[in-house]
Amino acid sequence: MMKLVRAIWGRQSRRARGTSRAGGQRGQAVSPHLEVNLARLRELFGASGDLAVRYFRPGLAPEVPAAVVYIDGLVDTALLDRHVLEPLLRSERGRAGLLRGAGAALASYASERLVSAAEVELVTALEEASCQLLAGRAVVFWQGSTAALAVTVRGWAARAVEEPGTESVIRGSREGFTEDLRTNLALLRRRIRSPGLRVEYLTLGRRTNTQVAVVYVDAVASPSTVAEVKRRISGIDIDSVLESGYIEQYIEDSPWSPFATVANSEKPDVVAAKLLEGRVAILVDGTPFVLLVPYLFIESLQSAEDYYSRPFYVSMLRLIRLAAFGVSVLLPALYVAAVSFHQELIPASLAITVAATREGTPFPAIIEALGMGVVFEILREAGVRLPRPIGQAVSIVGALVIGQAAVSAGLIGSLMVIVVALTGVATFVVPAQIDAGIVLRAVYTVLAGVFGLYGIVLGLVVTVAHAAVLTSFGAPYLSPVAPFSRTGAGDTIVRVPLWTMRLRPEALRSPDRVRRRGRVRVGVQPMRGRRET
Amino acid sequence: MTRRLAVLALGLALLTGGCWNRKETDELALVSALGIDRLPDGGILVVAQIVKPAEVRAGVPTAVGSPRAVSLVSAAGPTVGAAVRGLAQVAGRRPFWAHARVLVLGAEVAKSGLGDVLDWFFREREFRARVWVAVTPGRAAEVIAAESDLEKIPAVAIDNMFRGRSILSFVPGTNLFRFLRDLATPGKDPLAAALLVVPRTALAGFSGHQGASGSAEAVAGPPSPEKEKEERRLYLGGSALFRGESLVGWLDERETRGVLWTSGARGLVVLSSPVVPGGRVSVEVLKARSSIEPRVAQGGVSFRVEVNLVAALAEQPSGVDLSSPETLALVEDELEKTVSAEVLSALGKAKSLGADPFGLGFALFTRDPAAWRGLAPVWPEHLRSVPVAVEVSSRVIRTGLSLGAHRER
């Protein structure tokens, strides 16, 4: 019993700390006068229409006026009826003499004996009560009681667990995170059934009071990384957190780099796998996108499915993804450089073909490349923003009409259309690096148009040097390639069989690097000579 | 501050380098072949075959009367450099040399010495050393103007002929690099492929009988002008023999192969006399190894040329089983005779002209530089009388599985 109370109080004080940091003005205690409390709450909420108050007289002390306050839409009224109102109203009158004049005792009696909801909390400050209201709880006030009872009867419209739109897989879990933090945590708990999975709540955003959870696996994640994540998050002091992207931009190592140093994922199995490698996840209420740190470049070439399928085809796919990334970043630049500077680099018969497609086009190659790049982005953006059926039609018609017509009108060379289309498609092979890829592509194309291949090489040198010094929460961004790690190299451009991946990635500095102990694989006995009959 | 300045200076320095010379592809005239002729007044005439990309790409085969895929542009000047600049003016676009495949030298310019011609090719960095070098007995302009039936770009046809040369090894694969290398090698004279325009109906073959005169008379008489275009075609075979920078004579196809045996020729050899009743046997030479051994003795210098062949049976007219060791030995003997006859005839002609395409002098230079230095000034004269022994050995390693079953009843 005491344990429970202490647990409740412990939670409450922790929550209180959170709110105080988030900037709520404290001090006003719950008044013994019911009407004063209600008036103050109404004043605080500016008489918002969705602040609902329901007066009643509890069955055990009908002479004491009481009220349930909740925000309409955040609570499930059926739950409220069954677990709060009904027990309070139907309670037997008795021991009333004991209770009379002891308001706080009334509240704790109700929480211990009457209200049948699982989550209840005693509240003594009005600000605290308002926080509870906003979190979807109903708060019960009694005349004469300086404690109010917050009861969790949360129930709002939420999306079910669905297959996420990004990171689709052919093989593997179809579940995706939702906007609800608790659902998301449950999805993770279901995958890592270990008490070692640690969840630490923080509240961020002075006005949004968004719940943020830092999740890691104890003894697998490096304690210094966990501490650093918490340090960086607790340093954030902003008005609102509406998506995990807000937090990402506040905690990333190099905000001016084109490369993202914080990963995100919509899939619980991906997040679970990364947690078990020693990473730290940051879940934010209100978004299905979970942040993961540290983030290494090589992760952008990896997909969840890589580990669910046998390794041979996957290793080929890794090469293809790398090539596609190269194409998406470099192809227009190389084309521009070859066509306007280094015609001698093109094989003779191809050079004639190129010359034929360029014959009579009015613009230099660099203008063509940049222009078509912009057109492609316009089509893509239009396709993304419009409702899906219209969006598809718009992009198909736009691409066909603009591509075909521009070529037949002699505005641009047909090879350029191929280059732009191939580049555009290749961009989506490595979705994690789309941002960086498009920015770098534009820079390289301009460099190629001004300086030719020399410009591209210059740009590459600068980019690689920059990526080599990047770190993400202490992990070198290009690891395990640079600095090279022999154990990590098996999960780069090839994916070695799972049973040979004995150690966790070196760059994550896990205190427990060994992933697998004991024998490699249970040997399979040859079936020779066991044919029956 | 200093650091910032240093970074700025470094950044600017990096940006000042690079490719300032942007040239859009549609501003270039892609030259596929270049011909050089000597004008009677000693000047230079250059003829360039310029690709018209749009016509090449047009897809439909060029019927008679349809526009040609190449355009011919010519310009004259006192030197190659001057003439080439003139070319740019006539063509209206900047000539682009990196994709040129063939360089054709007219007989007159080759005879009068290439020293002043080749300098431009050394200097122009766009011009590739991989371009094929051919000499024509007539005017280079005629060769450049000749058409091909199969290829829209005639230079591509010439390129293909060069690439396919090893089926017979009747023509040396001289590109600019090899030509210049042989020219710069002491004791070796360059050989260049001979490229001709012949009447369509003429039998294949370059006799080379014009000898040192190098005139085009061996090519059948000129066809009627109005039919000229349809009736002439390109032929690649034989070679032009240089002494130093100057053309001194022509080798016919077999003589050319005689020289090439010492530099790894391959291809089909028809044996000169029948080994078995019923006709002549052919073998395919797969590999030829050779060495030139100079011998410096009291009496002077002599050479020994060794050729070692590995061959496969390619064709035999009779039903006789040639796979037995005895008959195979006969074939080998005959092959050796045929090849050594080719080498000897080439050697004879080269010696009589005082030219050294085999590189006998170079072999001496590598073996005994002192002896070479003594002989070098008089080498062409000395060559005429120098004794050369030719040794050919051969091995037929494959006879094939066909035993002539179609002849058995």
Q: What is the residue range of B346's domain?
A: 255-409
Q: Does B125 touch chain A (CB under 8 A)?
A: no
Residue B221: its pLDDT value, please?
42
Indicate the range of A169-183, A474-488, A504-518 predicted with least confidence.
A504-518
Whether B19 is in a domain gets the answer: no
Residue B57: its pLDDT value, please?
73
Q: Does B124 touch chain A (CB under 8 A)?
A: no
My answer on whether B221 and B286 are in the same domain is: no
User: Residue B261: how many CA atoms within 13 Å on its side-chain side?
Assistant: 32
Whether B385 is in a domain gets the answer: yes
My answer on whether B183 and B41 are in the same domain is: yes
Name the residue among B15, B22, B25 with its Cβ closest to that of A355.
B25
Q: Which residue has the higher pLDDT, A380 or A202?
A: A202
My answer on whether B133 and B170 are in the same domain is: yes
Name the residue among B18, B26, B96 with its Cβ closest to that of A451.
B18
For residue B297, count CB atoms less than 10 angstroms from its CB and return exposed for 0-12, middle for 13-18, buried for 19 or more. exposed
My answer on whether B209 and B265 are in the same domain is: no
pLDDT band with cut points at 50, 70 and 90 for residue A12: very low
B24 with A358: Cβ contact below 8 A = yes
My answer on whether B224 and B300 are in the same domain is: no
Which chain A residue shows the shortest CA-CA distance from B99? Answer: A348
My answer on whether B288 and B337 are in the same domain is: yes
Whether B191 is in a domain gets the answer: yes
Contact criterion met (CB below 8 Å) for B53 and A359: yes
Run of H or E including A353: helix A348-358
Chain B interface disruption, residue of A334, A350, A352, A453, most B CBs within 10 A:
A352
Which residues of chain B make contact with A336, given a CB cutoff of 8 A? none
Which residues of chain B make contact with A349, given a CB cutoff of 8 A? 156
Contact criterion met (CB below 8 Å) for B185 and B362: yes
Which residues of chain A make contact with B99, given a CB cutoff of 8 A? 343-344, 348, 351-352
**Residue at which a domain ends, from B197, B218, B251:** B251
Which residues of chain B make contact with A449, given a CB cutoff of 8 A? 22
Whether B9 is in a domain gets the answer: no
Which chain A residue shows the shortest CA-CA distance from B32? Answer: A348
Contact criterion met (CB below 8 Å) for B112 and B36: no
Contact criterion met (CB below 8 Å) for A458 and A451: yes
Q: Does B99 touch chain A (CB under 8 A)?
A: yes
* pLDDT at residue B59 greater than cutoff 80: no
Q: What is the CATH number of the domain that holds B273?
A: 3.30.300.210
Q: What confidence tens digit (pLDDT) does each residue in B324-344 have? A: 888 888 889 999 999 999 999
Q: Kindly report the average pLDDT of chain B as a whole number.
A: 84
Which chain B residue shows the shortest CA-CA distance from A413? Answer: B26
A341 with B57: Cβ contact below 8 A = no
Q: Which residue has the tokens 């008795």?
A: A94
pLDDT band with cut points at 50, 70 and 90 for residue A113: confident
* pLDDT at residue B208 greater than cutoff 80: no
Phi and psi, residue A444, nearest 5°: -65, -40
Which chain B residue shows the shortest CA-CA distance from A363? Answer: B24
Total number of domains constituting chain B: 2
Distance from CA of B98 to the nearest CA of A (A): 5
Name the residue among A348, A353, A355 with its Cβ closest to that of B101.
A348
Residue A9: its pLDDT value, please?
45
Residue B319: its pLDDT value, please?
67
Q: What confidence tens digit (pLDDT) does each residue in B223-276 have? A: 445 544 556 788 898 999 999 999 999 999 999 999 999 988 888 888 877 777
**Residue at which a domain ends, from B251, B286, B319:** B251
Q: Which residue has the higher pLDDT, A128 or A320?
A: A320
Report long-range pairs for A523-528 (Cβ below 8 Å, ≥24 apart). Answer: none
Per DSSP bridges, beta strands B300-315 and B232-243 are unpaired
Chain B interface disruption, residue of A342, A343, A446, A447, most B CBs within 10 A:
A343
Name the packing angle between helices A434-451 and A414-427 (round to 10°): 150
Run of H or E including B247: strand B246-251
B19 with A356: Cβ contact below 8 A = no
Whether B72 is in a domain gets the answer: yes
pLDDT band with cut points at 50, 70 and 90 for residue A25: very low
Whether B3 is in a domain gets the answer: no
Name the residue among B30, B101, B156 with its Cβ closest to that of A355.
B30
My answer on whether B47 and B137 are in the same domain is: yes
How many Cβ atoms from other residues are within 10 Å of residue A158's Cβ?
Answer: 12
Distance from CA of B158 to the nearest CA of A (A): 14
Distance from CA of A479 to the nearest CA of B (A): 28
Whether B7 is in a domain gets the answer: no
B98 with A352: Cβ contact below 8 A = no
Residue A529: its pLDDT value, please?
61
Distance from CA of A358 to the nearest CA of B (A): 6
pLDDT band with cut points at 50, 70 and 90 for residue B216: very low
Which residues of chain A make contact with B54, given a CB cutoff of 8 A? 356, 359-360
Distance CA A237, CA A140 (A): 32
My answer on whether B93 and B80 are in the same domain is: yes
My answer on whether B127 and B216 are in the same domain is: yes
Contact criterion met (CB below 8 Å) for B248 and B355: yes
My answer on whether B230 and B279 are in the same domain is: no
Q: Mean pLDDT over residues A353-363, rounded?
A: 87
- Highest-confidence range of A95-104, A408-417, B74-83, by mean pLDDT? B74-83
B98 with A364: Cβ contact below 8 A = no
Q: Does B41 touch chain A (CB under 8 A)?
A: no
A452 with B56: Cβ contact below 8 A = no
Q: Mean pLDDT over residues A84-112, rounded?
A: 71
Q: Does B16 touch chain A (CB under 8 A)?
A: no
A341 with B98: Cβ contact below 8 A = no
Name the residue among A339, A453, A458 with its Cβ closest to that of B25.
A339
Which residues of chain B make contact with A353, given a CB cutoff of 8 A? 53, 57
Name the residue among A340, A353, A452 with its Cβ closest to that of B57.
A353
Which residues of chain A make contact with B51, given a CB cutoff of 8 A? 352, 355
Q: What confidence tens digit (pLDDT) does each residue in A171-228 have? A: 999 999 999 999 999 999 999 999 999 999 999 999 998 999 999 999 999 999 999 9
Q: Does B385 touch chain A (CB under 8 A)?
A: no
My answer on whether B205 and B282 are in the same domain is: no
My answer on whether B240 and B266 are in the same domain is: no
Which residues of chain B make contact with A340, given a CB cutoff of 8 A? 22-25
Contact criterion met (CB below 8 Å) for B311 and B283: yes
ipTM of the complex: 0.80
**Residue at which a domain ends, from B251, B277, B293:** B251
Distance CA B10, CA A458 (A): 12
Alpha helices in A362-516 (DSSP H): 365-385, 388-408, 414-427, 434-451, 453-469
Chain A interface disruption, residue of B22, B32, B55, B127, most A CBs within 10 A:
B22
Which residues of chain B make contact with A361, given a CB cutoff of 8 A? 26
A451 with B19: Cβ contact below 8 A = yes
User: Which amino acid is it at B345?
Assistant: S
A451 with B24: Cβ contact below 8 A = no
| pTM for this model (two decimals) | 0.83
Whether B71 is in a domain gets the answer: yes
Indicate the range of A323-337, B11-25, B354-368 predicted with least confidence.
B11-25
Distance CA A265, CA A369 (A): 33
Residue A100: its pLDDT value, please?
55
A452 with B18: Cβ contact below 8 A = yes
* pLDDT at residue A106 greater than cutoff 50: yes
Residues ≥6 apart with Cβ < 8 Å to B271? B280, B281, B282, B283, B331, B334, B335, B338
Residue A23: its pLDDT value, please?
40
Distance CA A380, CA A376 (A): 6
Residue A135: its pLDDT value, please?
86
Q: What confidence tens digit (pLDDT) does each residue in A217-243 have? A: 999 999 999 999 999 999 999 999 999
Q: Does B92 touch chain A (CB under 8 A)?
A: no
Contact criterion met (CB below 8 Å) for B183 and B121: no
B25 with A451: Cβ contact below 8 A = no
Please tell me what DSSP assigns to residue B38: E
